[in-house]
Amino acid sequence: MVQRNVKTKQKWPVTWVDARSLALAALLLPALPAQAFETLEITFEGQDNGLETALRRASLLQAAQDDGVQDPFEVFTIARAEYGQLIGTFYEAGFYAPQISVRIDGREAADISPLTPPDTIRRIDLILTAGPAFVFGQTQLGPLAQGTALAEDFAAGRPARSTVIREATSDAVDAWRDQGHAKAQPEDQQITARHPPGALDVAVQIAPGPRLRFGRLRPDGQQRTRPARIVKIAGLPSGEVFSPRDVQRAAERLRRTGTFASVSLREAETANPDGTLDINASVVEAPLRRIGASVEYDTEAGAKLGAFWLHRNLFGGAERFRIEGMVGGLGSGGGLDYRLATEFSRPATFTPDTALNFGVVIETERESDLDAKRVRLDIGLVHRFSDTLTFGGGIGLLLERAAFGPNLQQRRDFKLLLLPLDVTWDRRDNERAPTRGFYTRGEVMPFLGLGGTDSGARAYADLRGYRAFGQDDGVVLAGRAQLGAVFVADLARTPRDLLFYSGGSGSVRGQPFRSLGVTSGNVSSGGQGFAALSAEMRVRATENIGVVAFADAGYVSEGAFSGSSDWHAGAGLGLRYDTVVGPLRIDVGYPVAGTTGSGFQLYLGIGHAF
């Protein structure tokens, strides 16, 4: 905030030092031997303990001492900058007549010439006197846009903190901008401090400017992405009344593609003669390709190794193409599972918030009583209604050849036409390490059997909630509930991939992977009904290390919550180590109910369990 016509009595020595003078002094003076900066004594005279804490945190000298700065000239330069640093902290707290003294071995730092700095510095005394706390006197801010509500703190008799003035001015400007006045700004400010009786008079004049409409989006900085596609993806509503929220949403759409390492949308300096305002989109493209790998380990299912290759801008329209491979069951003593998946995604299809996705998955699944090979093809649309709400729908084809039962003697081919629908509502504060909010995902997939395969529908819901407690949110309680069912289709004529199991890191830790299912006609399989509950208490032990206690329980039924059923549970402890890609996870679980497992289960992975 620019202050004009400020009238106040300065009772402290403040000298603004030209940085060029300090630089010249550093060049002209011979190198001086570094002497230890031994003592910093901070004395605060006042009644506001919160202000004292804020001053100590803002002190450049305190930071220099904490960082072990020893060079006398560097310490001297920091000491002279301390006046300007701390006066802003006083103003933010509403104290406009403070006294600041910075004494270097008994001499005031502001009185020492930068051309003759001290060659040794042993002690610095920082003496801070708050003086009287000011309150607002007369407050004038306007004109205000219709419906603008300023903060209650910006009123006569309230503490005259400079932050309140800035926030009130910003709120007034933002209200005009929200109504289309893109060039609204403070035009004049008069702030007068009246020492007796300790009142601060504030008068701020706002210039709303004309109401403008969106002009054109002008891309800049792209190398491989076609400008027309950038305009399409951003979806700026040209011709409509200007809105900061629309600018923000356009930038978010571009970032979500993953094609750009950075995106910056800036308003043109001046409006066009027709009352429109162009928006400049400066982008920096991310590397064209990316490769990655993953590893997971489960004491029952064995190790799982995966790798992927990603092309971020396949045809110059921010399309993403990904190939992923996986080998599972390593070290489990059973057969190996293989998976090859490809996915193509094109943003801004039909609307700026709609993406078109193609996917193909080829995989095998081998267990003691199952040997399956399947291919699945999907095409669908994903539409983002808001920052938190997403809807998807499409059509798919599932082909599976399975051998199952004792000695794998029973064989069946499945052919299904799939109609998957899903909705996601994500209100978590952080996707990788949430501490507050909730996540809900629901899926409904009717399927039509072809060639003798039963028709039916599969439903699944995943609900998660998070709540933080304690100092600096050091304790997080997390809970998860899962619910699933398959309707209409006969159990024996439903592909295993559509049935539900319990056990393992995705449902019940401490129980072997997919250990709980049902047995029907001497054939073991997953069930058509499923429910699971999980709870975690996450405690941050250090800045990067966390400890987790968890308890899980799972239920599987033969029919959609009918027929024979069973349940089991597990509990345990885990460690988390935060990294840039998410927390590294180590969980050790033990079965506490049910007959499906015995002994400890170890889980390694990246990211929280949920």
d(CA 572, CA 509): 8
Average pLDDT taken over every residue of the chain:
91
pTM for the structure as a whole: 0.79
- pLDDT of res. 3: 34
CATH value at residue 472: 2.40.160.50
Number of Cβ within 10 Å of residue 143's Cβ equals 12
Q: Does 402 share its domain with 500?
A: yes
Kindly tell me if the per-residue pLDDT of 381 is higher than 90. Answer: yes
pLDDT at position 8 is: 35
Which range has the top average pLDDT, 430-439, 515-524, 527-536?
527-536
Residue 333 CB partners (closer than 8 Å, separation 6+):
302
Tell me what pLDDT residue 7 has. 34
CA-to-CA distance for 410 and 399, rounded, in angstroms? 17
Shared domain check, 294 and 280: no
158 within a domain of the structure (yes/no):
yes
Q: In CATH, what number is assigned to the domain containing residue 255?
A: 3.10.20.310
Distance of alpha carbon 528 from alpha carbon 490, whole angstroms: 9
* CA-closest candidate to residue 34, choices 78, 66, 74: 74
Distance CA(600)–CA(570), nearest Å, equals: 10
Q: What is the pLDDT of residue 606?
A: 86
Q: Is residue 197 included in any domain, yes or no?
A: yes
Instruction: Check pLDDT > 60 for residue 9.
Output: no
**Full domain range(s) for residue 199:** 140-207
Alpha carbons 141 and 514: distance in angstroms, whole number: 66
* Averaged pLDDT, 567-590: 93
Per the structure, how many domains does the chain have?
4
What is the CA angle 410-417-525, rounded to 5?
35
- The contacts of residue 39 (CB under 8 Å, 6+ apart) are 122, 123, 124
Burial of 318 (0-12, 13-18, 19+ CB in 10 A): buried
- Residue 527 falls inside a structural domain: yes
Instruction: Determine the Cα–Cα distance for residues 574 and 537; give it in Å rounded to an integer.
Output: 10
Instruction: Flag whether 185 is in a domain.
Output: yes
pLDDT at res. 592: 96
Give, in order, the Cα–Cα distances in Å from 136 to each of 169, 203, 542: 15, 11, 43
Last residue of a domain, one of 82, 106, 129: 129
439 & 485 share domain: yes
Confidence (pLDDT) at 297:
82
What is the C-alpha separation between 438 and 440, in angstroms, rounded?
A: 7
What is the predicted pLDDT for the residue at 36?
55
Residues in the chain: 610
Judge whether residue 18 has pLDDT over 50.
no
Min mean pLDDT across 71-85, 237-251, 330-344, 376-390 is at 330-344
Q: Are residues 509 and 463 in the same domain?
A: yes
368 has a pLDDT exceeding 90: no
Specify whether the CB–CB gap between 49 and 138 falls below 8 A.
no
- The one-letter code for the residue type at 341 is A
Q: Residues of the chain with pLDDT > 70: what percent?
A: 94
Average pLDDT, stretch 196-221?
Answer: 96
3-state secondary structure of 321: strand
pLDDT in tens, 102-138: 999 999 999 999 999 998 999 999 999 999 999 999 9
Q: Are residues 594 and 564 in the same domain?
A: yes
Position 1 pLDDT exceeds 60: no
The set of residues, in sequence order, having a beta carbon less than 8 Å from that of 144 and lying 6+ positions away, is: 150, 172, 175, 206
3-state SS of 75-127?
HHHHHHHHHHHHHHHHHHHCECCCEEEEEECCEEHHHCCCCCCCCCCCEEEEE
- Whether residue 16 lies inside any domain: the answer is no
474 and 528 belong to one structural domain: yes
Domain C-terminal end among 207, 239, 255:
207
What pLDDT was estimated at residue 446?
A: 97
Of 129, 155, 175, which residue constitutes the final position of a domain? Answer: 129
- Is 488 found in the same domain as 454? yes
Residue with tokens 């190939």: 323
Q: What is the DSSP string of 372-397?
A: EEEEEEEEEEEEESSSSEEEEEEEEE
The candidate with the shortest Cα–Cα distance to 305, out of 608, 513, 605, is 605
Q: Residue 78 belongs to a domain with what CATH number?
A: 3.10.20
Q: Identify the burial level of 449 via C-beta atoms within 10 angstroms of its C-beta, where 0-12 means exposed, 13-18 middle and 19 or more buried.
A: middle
List, in sequence order, every residue forming a beta bridge with 469; answer none if it has no partner.
475
Q: Please name which of 59, 604, 38 lies closest in space to residue 331, comparing C-alpha atoms.
A: 604
Within a domain: 440: yes
Instruction: Name the β-bridge partners of 531.
Output: 483, 555
Same domain assignment for residues 481 and 529: yes
- Burial zone of 181 (CB within 10 Å; 0-12 exposed, 13-18 middle, 19+ buried): buried
Tell me if 20 is assigned to some domain.
Answer: no
The pLDDT, as a whole number, for residue 477 is 97
477 and 545 fall within a common domain: yes
Q: Which long-range contacts (CB under 8 A, 24 or more apart) does 46-53 make?
A: 46/95, 46/128, 46/129, 46/130, 46/131, 47/130, 48/93, 48/130, 48/133, 50/93, 51/89, 51/90, 51/93, 51/95, 51/130, 52/128
Q: Which residues contact 434 (CB under 8 A, 6 or more apart)?
A: 428, 464, 466, 476, 478, 608
- The single residue listed with the structure tokens 């030092």 is 17
Measured between alpha carbons, how far is 41 from 85 in angstroms, rounded to an integer? 17
Based on the domain organization, do 298 and 325 belong to the same domain? yes
- What are the tokens at 534? 């999980």
Q: Tell me what pLDDT residue 35 has.
A: 54
Question: What gap in Å lies between CA 144 and CA 165, rounded to an integer?
Answer: 15
Instruction: Summarize pLDDT for 524-572 with one digit per residue, the tens.
Output: 899 999 999 999 999 999 989 999 999 999 999 999 989 999 999 999 9
Cβ atoms of residues 281 and 234 within 8 Å: yes
CB 443 within 8 A of CB 421: yes
Enter the tokens of residue 366.
Answer: 């081998």
The percent of residues in the chain predicted with pLDDT above 90, rounded, is 78
Element (H, E) at 247: helix 244-256
Same domain, 186 and 255: no
Q: Tokens for 56?
A: 């100590």
| Residue 481 token pair | 């509930």
pLDDT at 302: 83
Q: Dig out the tokens for 428 from the structure.
A: 């978590």
Res 20: pLDDT: 47
CA distance 339 to 21: 67
User: What confidence score (pLDDT) does residue 4 get?
Assistant: 32
Work out the number of other CB atoms within 10 angstroms of the CB of residue 39: 12
| Average of per-residue pLDDT across 404-419 | 89
Mean pLDDT of 370-398: 96
CA–CA separation, 254 and 86 (whole Å): 41
* Tokens coding 525: 């399989």
281-293 pLDDT, tens per residue? 999 999 999 999 9
589's tokens: 């679980």
Tell me, yes or no, whether 34 lies in a domain.
no
Q: State both tokens at 394.
A: 């499409």
Q: How far, in Å, CA of 512 to CA of 519, rounded?
A: 17
pLDDT in tens, 473-509: 899 999 999 999 999 999 988 998 899 999 999 999 9
Place of tokens 């941050």: 540
Per-residue pLDDT tens for 143-202?
999 999 899 999 999 999 999 999 999 999 999 999 999 999 999 999 999 988 899 999
**Does residue 412 carry a pLDDT above 60?**
yes
DSSP-derived 3-state class of residue 368: coil
User: Per-residue pLDDT tens for 45-66?
Assistant: 988 878 999 999 999 999 999 9
Question: Do both 80 and 48 map to the same domain?
Answer: yes
